[in-house]
Chains A and B, each alone.
Chain A
């Protein structure tokens, strides 16, 4: 095994362990969030984002790493995002959690995994078509919120923290 494969494996084991401990791998938690009845995965994801956001932007400012934004390809993100959301609701897993769900015994996730591999194969066939249509419509490139708004990231991040903490307080009051 190469060093990057080993590093990936170790990171993945810790990631899977934490996903399972947070109880976010389950179909019922994912669908529960979409039915706005169980906010566990929102709490989990937003907590991860709050912490990671500070560390990653700090390291970027210190020149330790470079940010790697995904392209703001308007049509592709809107249509692709909507397709993903629709499929996600039926499947009840996302790509990462499907593998974890299999690990905690929810073996029916295997059908979701096979479906997603089939979906990837279909996408590979349709890629030339998408490239000349959806992917070519409106590409704003790899942009971050601070550059677009002209507001410092160290203003955006505390505002984001405040909004999310307010949301957490709301969740706890509503007991969801």
Chain B
């Protein structure tokens, strides 16, 4: 098995197994140091980011909202984890020269053309629907897909099946080349 891919990346088996080790180290470290076991996740941070933005308009409104009260609008461990992902990807891509300014992804362009406006609209609307879904299901591919599956949570097996099941159907409807 090759440890490196053609473009200088690492084998997904290797990089993935290292994320498994990171997850183990992270739950251990948070339990020992903070006294609370934190599992990898990302989607709750988007709720907190929305809360911070709304606070700039009306702090009272955010303080009175039931969901913001439940999730607590603050910069916590996971919020910093999500910020860290940005820097980790930046460091990795700059050092192996895979950093690339991309306006529209190739698969999208093949189907919908090079318009940035179209891509922006798709990403924005897709983002809205996906986040409503992630909050309802109480997790995303990190929280359910990685952390929940590692714990053998019943809800995560179902969530991951739904994520991919719906994803496969919609992706095939959207991007599959028509053979005509």
Q: Which residues of A contact B (CB under 8 A)?
A: 1, 3-28, 31-36, 40-41, 43-53, 55-57, 59-60, 64-74, 76-109, 111-128, 130-131, 134-135, 140, 142-146, 148, 153, 156-157, 168, 172
B101 touches A107 (CB 8 A): yes
**What CA separation (Å) do A118 and B42 show in the bound complex?**
15
B152 touches A153 (CB 8 A): yes
Question: With A84-B166, A135-B136 given, is the CB distance from A35 to B49 under 8 Å?
Answer: no
Chain B residue with the shortest CB-CB distance to A3: B33
**What CA separation (Å) do A101 and B135 show in the bound complex?**
21
Chain B residue with the shortest CB-CB distance to A87: B130
Question: With A59-B28, A66-B37, A76-B138 given, is the CB distance from A21 to B9 under 8 Å?
Answer: yes
Question: With A22-B9, A44-B15, A99-B86 given, is the CB distance from A115 to B162 under 8 Å?
Answer: no
CB of B179 within 8 A of chain A? no
Across the interface, B85 reaches (CB within 8 A) one of A32, A96, A120, namely: A96
B93 touches A105 (CB 8 A): yes
CB of B30 within 8 A of chain A? yes
**What CA separation (Å) do A20 and B145 show in the bound complex?**
18
B154 touches A140 (CB 8 A): yes
CB of B63 within 8 A of chain A? no
B131 touches A95 (CB 8 A): yes
A130 touches B155 (CB 8 A): no
Other than the known A86-B126, A144-B154, what 7 A-B pairs have Cβ atoms closer than 8 Å? A5-B80, A23-B7, A46-B16, A51-B16, A68-B37, A89-B166, A104-B99
Residues on A with beta carbons closer than 8 Å to the beta carbon of B176: 35
Across the interface, B93 reaches (CB within 8 A) one of A8, A40, A104, A116, namely: A104
Across the interface, B80 reaches (CB within 8 A) one of A6, A117, A145, A146, namely: A6
**What CA separation (Å) do A27 and B105 show in the bound complex?**
6
Question: With A52-B150, A81-B159 given, is the CB distance from A96 to B142 under 8 Å?
Answer: yes
Residues on B with beta carbons closer than 8 Å to the beta carbon of A16: 84-92
* Closest-CB distance, A127 to chain B (whole angstroms): 4
* Closest-CB distance, A141 to chain B (whole angstroms): 10
Residues on B with beta carbons closer than 8 Å to the beta carbon of A112: 123-124, 126-127
